[in-house]
């Protein structure tokens, strides 16, 4: 089925007489008849919910829905996008793990990598996405365990060259982890283009209504964790009586290990209530993404032809540096985020932000309402000026998250704000 159908029909399959809508199971725990059954759950010999820090039936509906849409073999709903990113890396190894990451990252991901994970002994090399494969290869070390990238970089909006980066990863026997937040599985399915693990901030388009912070970790099931590079997958885990993940769980080794060790130990699971609301939001993901994409393209064209606008970045705009990659990887639409710079720089940018009326100034992207912010003084504020530039943030950049209101009303608002400058 198409993602437009899957987002409505997947994840919950009621039997005769059961509720049509996936119920909210707001319970920390689950009742069993015998001690033997519970022991089997603890030993990972039986499937079933035991405690809602590790799994919950309402979270499972959302996990299954997005996993189906991404063409994965399993997913974990997490408390935030940040915790999904954290789990994606902690599952690979501990201190001494090196990650090669493209530099055009969401500011929160940059901070997680550059501050907290670095403090815990992880190492990161941030590389320019335009480097050639040979130049990138020089940054791969014996302890490099993954490449990390975003489908559409935030907020520079460069589209990931999946073929180039996944080929490099697989040549080095390491997985490609992709943050697919901006594209969502309706517009791009990274597993079809060589990615091995996907993470989402469901806080953005998947929820779509700005009501829940949440994340998802999705496994393609295609990466060979027994290739010698990942001893934690192939040697006995003492905390489960010497279980070896690749032997027992085969292609599901990664996603099961993440759940049974990291959710167990860290506890960053999504709450059932957030999973319930996020699942309801996700049911309209496809129609929303189509509308976000068509509205954003019209806004990008409008801005591009406006005399007060200096530059516009939107991957589906034929003048954009990522246009060809967008045609290849985002043929159904390039999502709802448009970045641009006004003539007159940061000062006129702020004036513009203060002049819009329909669009609101919020620290968010990817919900149904049109809004905007100034990355250099907001989301990417903690980065130094050099780090901002390598993340694709220039001082004058305004990031517009185009909503699904009527396009004429959005353009009218932008027009009146530009007139005031
Ligand atoms: C917001 C965002 C995150 C972090 O997600 P939270 O849900 O805010 O923790 C990660 N990646 C991208 C691209 C984002 O936009």
Average pLDDT over residues 200-226: 98
Question: Which of 179, 204, 211, 401 has the most ligand 1 atoms within 8 A of CB, as the residue to mutate?
Answer: 204
Query: Is 80 exceeded by the pLDDT of residue 391?
Result: no
Residue 220 in contact with residue 195, Cβ under 8 Å?
yes
150 lines ligand 1 (CB under 6 A): yes
Mean pLDDT of 38-61: 93
Region 35-46: mean pLDDT is 90
pLDDT for position 396: 87
User: What tokens does 237 get?
Assistant: 């885990």
Query: Residue of the nearest CA to atom 8 in ligand 1?
Result: 81
Instruction: Give nearest CA residue, ligand 1 atom 5.
Output: 81
Q: Is 113 in the pocket of ligand 1 (CB under 6 A)?
A: no
* pLDDT of res. 392: 79
How high does pLDDT run on average in the chain? 96
Place of tokens 């099961």: 256
- Residue 155: asked if its preceding bond is cis (omega within 30°), the reply is yes
Contact status, residue 340 vs residue 156, Cβ threshold 8 Å: no
What mean pLDDT is predicted for residues 375-400?
84
pLDDT at 394: 87
Q: For position 346, what pLDDT does the model report?
A: 80
Distance 372 CA to ligand 1 centre (A): 16
Verify whether ligand 1 is closer than 6 Å to residue 109 (CB atom): yes
Does 70 contact ligand 1 (Cβ within 6 A)?
Answer: no
Q: What is the pLDDT of residue 380?
A: 82
Q: Give the relative orientation of helices 285-304 and 407-419 as an angle to the nearest 10 degrees.
A: 30
Residue whose CB lies within 8 A of the most ligand 1 atoms, among 181, 211, 339, 365, for a mutation test: 181
pLDDT at 107: 87
Alpha helices, DSSP H only, in 268-321?
272-282, 285-304
395: confidence class by pLDDT, cuts 50, 70, 90: confident
Token look-up 């069993």 returns: 32
How many angstroms separate the alpha carbon of residue 178 from the centre of ligand 1? 12
- Give the predicted TM-score (pTM) of the model: 0.96
Question: What are 338's strand-pairing partners?
Answer: 400
Q: What pLDDT, in 10s, does the model give residues 329-360?
A: 999 999 999 999 999 888 888 899 999 999 99
Distance in Å, CA 71 to ligand 1 centroid? 21
Reported as a pLDDT band with limits 50, 70 and 90, residue 390 is: confident
CA distance 124 to 16: 52
The residue among 233, 269, 228 whose CA lies nearest residue 251 is 233
Is the confidence at residue 303, as pLDDT, over 90?
yes
Q: What share of the chain is helix, strand, coil (3-state, %, to 5)?
A: 40, 15, 45
**57-89 per-position pLDDT tens digit:** 999 999 999 999 999 999 999 999 999 999 999
Q: Read off the pLDDT of residues 171-193 as tens digits, 9 standing for 90 and up.
A: 999 999 999 999 999 999 999 99
Give yes or no for residue 154 having a pLDDT over 90: no
> What is residue 381's predicted lDDT score, i.e. its pLDDT?
82
Please name the residue whose Cα sits nearest to atom 6 of ligand 1: 81
Q: Lowest-confidence range among 22-26, 45-49, 169-173? A: 45-49
- Is the CB of residue 344 below 6 angstroms from any atom belonging to ligand 1? no
| Residue 278: per-residue pLDDT | 98
pLDDT band at 387; cut points 50, 70, 90: confident
Q: Does the beta carbon of 80 sit less than 6 angstroms from any atom of ligand 1? A: yes
Q: What is the pLDDT of residue 344?
A: 87
Q: Average the pLDDT over each of 122-131, 239-248, 375-384 and give the range with the smallest value.
A: 375-384
């Amino acid at each position: 089925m198409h993602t437009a159908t899957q987002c409505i029909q997947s994840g919950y399959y009621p039997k005769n007489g059961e509720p049509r809508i996936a119920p909210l199971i707001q319970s920390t725990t689950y009742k069993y008849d015998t001690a033997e059954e519970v022991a089997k759950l603890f030993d990972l010999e039986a499937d079933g919910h035991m405690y809602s820090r590790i799994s919950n039936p309402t979270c499972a509906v959302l996990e299954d829905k997005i996993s189906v849409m991404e063409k994965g073999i399993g997913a974990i709903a997490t408390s935030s996008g940040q915790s999904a990113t954290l789990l994606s890396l902690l599952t690979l190894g501990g201190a001494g793990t090196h990650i090669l990451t493209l530099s055009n990252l969401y500011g929160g991901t940059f901070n997680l990598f550059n501050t907290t994970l670095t403090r815990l002994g992880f190492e990161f090399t941030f590389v320019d996405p335009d480097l050639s494969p040979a130049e990138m290869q020089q940054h791969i070390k014996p302890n490099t365990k993954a490449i990390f990238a975003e489908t559409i970089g935030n907020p520079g909006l460069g589209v990931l060259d999946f073929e180039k980066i996944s080929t490099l990863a697989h040549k080095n026997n390491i997985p490609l982890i992709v943050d697919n937040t901006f594209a969502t599985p309706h517009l791009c399915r990274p597993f079809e283009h060589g990615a091995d693990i996907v993470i989402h901030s469901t806080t953005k388009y998947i929820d779509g209504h700005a009501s829940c912070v949440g994340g998802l970790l999705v496994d393609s099931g295609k990466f060979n964790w027994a290739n010698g590079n990942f001893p934690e997958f192939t040697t006995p885990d003492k905390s489960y009586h010497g279980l070896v993940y690749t032997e027992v769980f085969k292609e599901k080794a990664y996603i099961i290990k993440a759940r049974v060790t990291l959710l167990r130990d860290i506890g960053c699971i999504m709450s059932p209530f957030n999973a319930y609301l996020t699942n309801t939001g996700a049911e309209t993901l496809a129609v929303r993404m189509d509308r976000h994409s068509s509205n954003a393209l019209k806004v990008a064209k409008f801005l591009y032809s406006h005399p007060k606008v200096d530059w516009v970045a939107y991957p589906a705009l034929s003048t954009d540096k990522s246009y060809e990659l967008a045609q290849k990887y985002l043929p159904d639409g390039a999502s709802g985020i448009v970045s641009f710079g006004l003539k007159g720089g940061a000062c006129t940018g702020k004036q513009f932000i203060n002049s819009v009326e329909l669009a609101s100034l919020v620290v968010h992207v990817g919900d149904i309402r049109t809004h905007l912010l100034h990355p250099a003084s907001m989301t990417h504020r903690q980065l130094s000026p050099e780090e901002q530039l390598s993340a694709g943030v220039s001082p004058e950049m305004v990031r517009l998250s185009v909503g699904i209101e009527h396009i004429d009303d959005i353009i009218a608002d932008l027009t009146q704000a530009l007139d005031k400058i």
